[in-house]
Structure 1
Amino acid sequence: MTKMETLAGPKPVFDTSNAWLRGLDAKTMPPEVMTTAKLLVLDLIGVLAAAHRLDAGRIARDHAVRHWAAGPDAPAARIAFDGRKASLPGAAFAMATQLDNLDAHDGWQPSKGHAGAALLPALLALAEDAPELSGREALVLMIAGYEIAYRAAEALHATVPDYHTSGAWNALGCVAMAARLRGVSDDVFRHALGIAEYHAPRSQMMREIANPTMLHDGTGFGAPVGLYAVLIAEDGFTGAPAATVEFDDAEGSWGDLGQVWLTCQQYVKPYPICRWAHAPIDAALGLRAKFNIDPQLIASIDVYTFKYSAELSASVPDTSPKAQYSLAWPVACAFARGVVGVDEVMPKAFGDPDLIKLTGLTSAHVDTALEADYPARRQARVKVTLHDGRSFDSGVVEASGGPDPQPTEAEIVQKFRRFAGSVLSVDQVVELEGIVMGLDGKDADFKALTQLVNKMKIDF
């Protein structure tokens, strides 16, 4: 943080946040917040399933089973769509790494990152060890995680110079969920927040974007660090106060907790690509549909966007992470195929000559007006020129999927069906959708969902 502090005891912001967390009640939660949380869980489950195809997910699952195994007297959890067991942090690591490596999950624009990709894996792991967990309480836990994580993110971005990965702050959301579910003391909760913030991966996001790998957005370690922090704090391990919660220069990020619901201000990605490329994709898809553009006739594609977007890769990818952190590649997919889905970020697509050609014809330019609107808005303009001299301009387009307007329930459900359906049978998709969409029901049992995703083994 910008100014170091020595604290004799909890700051009022901790006491207020702690009381808020303990007092959350599904019965008094605004209905729209519960509904949003349910739809976000559905979306995340679909992305987690589809991500099973990625090498990163396979490596993380195998690694967790071998190296993050639970001891004989320690709680264990199964890995979703796999069924094998690991420790609670190990299972969270495997699922969060898998989910994080398919860049199609929710996010809050001011955070420049994502909470759900850590929260759902942590919740699935925690639920395995819980004696019981109702569907409504599970949604309350997700909401708590979102609200805590995103305020920590806001505080971090406001007080440090580097742009850190989401794992740096979504770990604190995982702590909040675990602390409430496990019923730890106030003191343990405070120490766990401090431990998680201290050990969470404050990794530099732009280094990963410039050199895309399976590290992705740091969430693979955000989730397990959050669970580990609670477990070790329960054993008596202490941690320095969480600066993003208790230091003076973070205080402004917490004043509206319980009044403004950040859970409902998120976007839901329609494409498994870095959010910075979504406005260009939308613009390209719009031009293709409106003018019936034959991709074989394209001479050049110019993308005008904000700085971070323009800095995404312009090369033909040779790995899935490189495809997901690209600008030229997904724009080429939009023009050539009219779709940017899971198949377009898988290795089989990288040899497509049409995609290779169009990627080479795509150039990015920084637009100062669009840069000035970032991060509140993600916008772009695409101009495509044909060999016969005609050109078509999209005008300024804002990325679809929210937050304004929010995606509809039908849009989120359709996305879930596309992603989950890429690896599961129709009957499995229907069964999974039914359980998740019923989580806010009076008798819903979240552990039934964990049992189902552990029974549905995906083989790739």
Structure 2
Amino acid sequence: MLPQSSILSFIHDTQFNDLPLDVVAMAERCCLDLIGVTVAGRHTDLAQIITEHAALFFAGNKEISAIPFSGETASPVGAALAMGMTIDAFDAHDGHRLTKGHAGAAIFPALLAYSYCLAGNKNKIDGCEFLTALIIGYEVSLRAGIALHATACDYHTSGAWNAIGAAAMGARLLKLSPEKTKHALGIAEYHGPRSQMMRCIDHPTMLKDGSGWGAMSGVSAAYLSRSGFTGAPAITLEGDDCAIYWQSLGQDWEVLAQYFKPYPVCRWAQPAIQAISDLMKKQPIDYQKIEAIEIRTFHEGVCLAGYNPQTTEEAQYAIAFPVAALIVRGTLGAKEIAPETLNDSIILALAQKIILSEGKEYNDLFPGERWADVTIKFNDGKKISTPATCPIGDPENPLTDDNILTKFYTLCRGSLHKKTADNIVKSVKELKSETNALSCLLELLKHPVSPKECQHKISD
């Protein structure tokens, strides 16, 4: 078993120069991608409601953090909650296959909340420490998630385990003692939302993947422990049956197994979407001539269904509607899952022609791999079929840096001035080399997203 002291040492003693270059590069990619998703998420009703809630009911006093892109402030606990749910509101953030969920949606908001608070108390950190803490947050979260899925009887949302990574970062940045760090991790694990993920799949609402509550729980845990609140042990870190998941901590890097989404919908839908997208690049598809679309994928993907979504949350946790929208409109972005699109009669009619079924071979590969194949039948009797397809963005077929950059600018289009977006990109790139890069980034993220005021928008 890896001694618990080794986990604590990883949290507190890891230095930026200890980190492999590819791990640092992945952290930079995650930063930029998550910032873009936050901008897009800011336009949702979910984000508006949770931000008002955080500003009103989690107002800060001595400890205050900005809620990015909102113009509002809250306590670090409230700011983490608001940003975590804002990212979760737009399902385009990074993820990890073995955890069946998302670390960044909680730990990035938590890290920003700590950073704003430290800066306000004249105890600011630099970009290298910011990236180091982010990587520690990812590694602790992802291993806790793998351990939880291996030992728990139910499938819990990401908030159940990414709360632990949020607390780990707080323990480091607040310079908690080893004993208080143990309690912070235990508090976060105990208070983390062990919410049932398949409930949200079956009944999609604003509850989403629990990451906002995970961020809130983790940040709260760190501050509670600093005040003397006790909560150890964290069994996903200390339990004998979980030891195997921590043995390579600091040697093998789970953050390198992150995937990035090209489409703002559940990753489980994306193998089928990718298959259709690949097919459309080879030949035009006239939706008016389609008789039926047969999609074979794994069980959890079939559970998405989503023939007639009533909200953007239902559209994001769907497979039929996004596939139909892609075929009809030729693209699948924010507009295709926006509320005003959900009554598009053409898309809805095509969605009704989609038949979903499970492929045993795909069930056997899940969650380590996600696959689908599609057959389209036309009214004249012709058929076209795709090969078994997995989505781009996985570690084996990653999005390029240019893809990530394009995605970022696309998500910011119409919401941020071009100069603001450019400076965010510049600041993220300079985190590891420029002393003031993090301070500049934190200021840039305070810029309210307000499309009506953008006179020099990123061009279409």
Using the size of structure 2 for normalisation, the TM-score is 0.95
SS of the aligned residue for 1:303 comes to: strand
CA distance in 2, matches of 1:339, 1:173: 35
Query: Is the contact made by 1:18 and 1:186 (CA closer than 8 Å) also made in structure 2?
Result: yes
User: Cα distance, 1:459 vs. partner?
Assistant: 5.5
Partner of 1:42: 32
Aligned to 1:440: 432
- Indicate whether 1:79 and 2:71 are aligned: no
Asked whether the equivalents of residues 127 and 447 of structure 1 are also in contact (C-alpha less than 8 Å), the reply is: no
Q: Which moved more, 1:85-94 or 1:415-424?
A: 415-424
- Residue in structure 1 matched with residue 222 of structure 2 by the alignment: 230
Q: Could you tell me which amino acid in structure 1 is paired with residue 55 of structure 2?
A: V
Secondary structure of residue in 2 paired with 1:53: coil
Structure 1 residue 422: Cα displacement: 4.5
Moved over 4 A (4+): none
The secondary structure found in structure 2 opposite 1:244 is: helix
Alpha-carbon offset, residue 458 of structure 1: 2.9
1:91 is aligned to 79
Q: 2:390 is matched by which residue type in structure 1?
A: E
Residue pair 1:167, 1:202 contacting (<8 A) in 2 also:
yes
SS state of the match for residue 18, structure 2? coil
Q: Structure 1 stretch 80-89 or stretch 39-48: which is displaced more?
A: 80-89
Q: State the secondary structure of the residue aligned to 1:385.
A: strand
2:12 to 16, 22, 41: 22
Residues 13, 245 of structure 1: 8 Å contact kept: no
Q: Is 1:175 matched with 2:163?
A: no
State the partner residue of 1:386: 378
> Is 1:159 the equivalent of 2:147?
no
Aligned partners of 1:376 and 1:167: how far apart in 2?
A: 20
Q: Could you tell me how far apart the structure 2 residues matched to 1:231 and 1:133 are?
A: 18
Residue 286 of structure 1: CA displacement? Answer: 1.5
User: Which position in structure 2 is the counterpart of 1:101?
Assistant: 89
Deviations along 1:310-329, one digit per CA (max 9) or x if unpaired, are 11123211101100000101
Structural mapping, 1:299-314, within 5 Å: 299-314=291-306
**Hey, what's the Cα distance between the residues in 2 that align with 1:340 and 1:440?**
34
Question: Counterparts in 2 of 1:41-80, with a 5 A limit?
Answer: 41-71=31-61, 74-80=62-68
Structure 1 residue 289: Cα displacement? 2.2
Provide the C-alpha distance between the structure 1 equivalents of 2:419 and 2:170, rounded to a whole number of angstroms.
33
Of 276-285 and 289-298, deviating more is: 289-298
Higher relative contact order (CA 8 A, sep 6+): 1
In the alignment, is the contact (CA less than 8 A) between 1:314 and 1:362 conserved in 2?
no
Superposition deviation, residue 438 in structure 1: 1.9
Question: Aligned-pair RMSD on alpha carbons?
Answer: 1.3
1:450 to 432, 442, 447: 442
Residue by residue, what CA displacement relative to the aligned partner does 1:150-181 show, whole Å, maximum 9, x if unpaired? 00001100011100000000001101111111
Tell whether 2:350 aligns with 1:358: yes
Q: CA deviation at 1:425?
A: 2.8
- Of 93, 116, 123, which aligns to 2:104? 116
Q: Percentage identity across aligned positions? A: 39
Q: In the alignment, residue 332 of structure 1 is paired with which amino acid?
A: A
1:212 equivalent in structure 2:
204
| Alignment partner, residue 347 of structure 1 | 339
Tell me: CA distance 1:322–1:422, structure 2 relative to 1, closer, same or farther (3 Å).
farther
CA distance in 1, matches of 2:19, 2:65: 29
Measure how far apart 1:406 and its partner are.
Answer: 2.4
What stretches of structure 1 of length at least 5 have no aligned partner? 1-10
- Most deviating of 418-427 and 168-177: 418-427
Structure 2: how far apart are the matches of 1:186 and 1:314? 47
Q: Deviations over 1:105-132 (max 9, x none)?
A: 1111000000000011111111111122
Alignment of 1:273-312 (within 5 A): 273-312=265-304
Q: Secondary structure at the match of 2:3?
A: helix
User: In structure 1, what is the Cα distance between the partners aligned to 2:430 and 2:29?
Assistant: 10
Contact 1:21 1:144 in 2 (8 A): yes
Q: 1:240 and 1:431 mapped to 2: Cα distance?
A: 42
Inter-partner Cα distance in structure 2 for 1:437 and 1:392: 44
Q: Please tell me whether the aligned partners of residues 128 and 447 of structure 1 are also in contact (alpha carbons under 8 angstroms).
A: no
The aligned amino acid for 2:15 is D
Cα deviation for residue 354 of structure 1 reads: 1.7
Which AA in structure 2 matches 1:137?
Answer: E
Question: Which residue is 2:457 aligned to?
Answer: none
Q: Secondary structure at the match of 2:95?
A: coil
CA shift, 1:240, in A, is 3.0
CA drift of 1:444 comes to: 4.4
CA–CA distance in structure 1, aligned partners of residues 40 and 125 of structure 2: 26
Structure 1 residue matching 2:259: 3-state secondary structure: coil
- Structure 2 partner of 1:8: none
On the 8 A contact 2:428/2:437 being kept in 1, the answer is no
TM-score (norm 1): 0.95
What is aligned with 2:22?
32
Aligned length: 448
Provide the rounded CA distance (Å) in 1 between the counterparts of 2:324 and 2:97. Answer: 25
Q: Distance in 1 between matches of 2:248 and 2:129?
A: 22
CA contact (8 A) 2:291 2:377 kept: yes
Aligned match for 2:417, one of 400, 416, 425: 425
TM-aligned CA deviation for residue 13 of structure 1: 3.1
Of the structure 1 ranges 314-323 and 428-437, higher mean CA displacement relative to structure 2 is found in: 428-437
Deviation at 1:149, TM superposition (A): 0.3
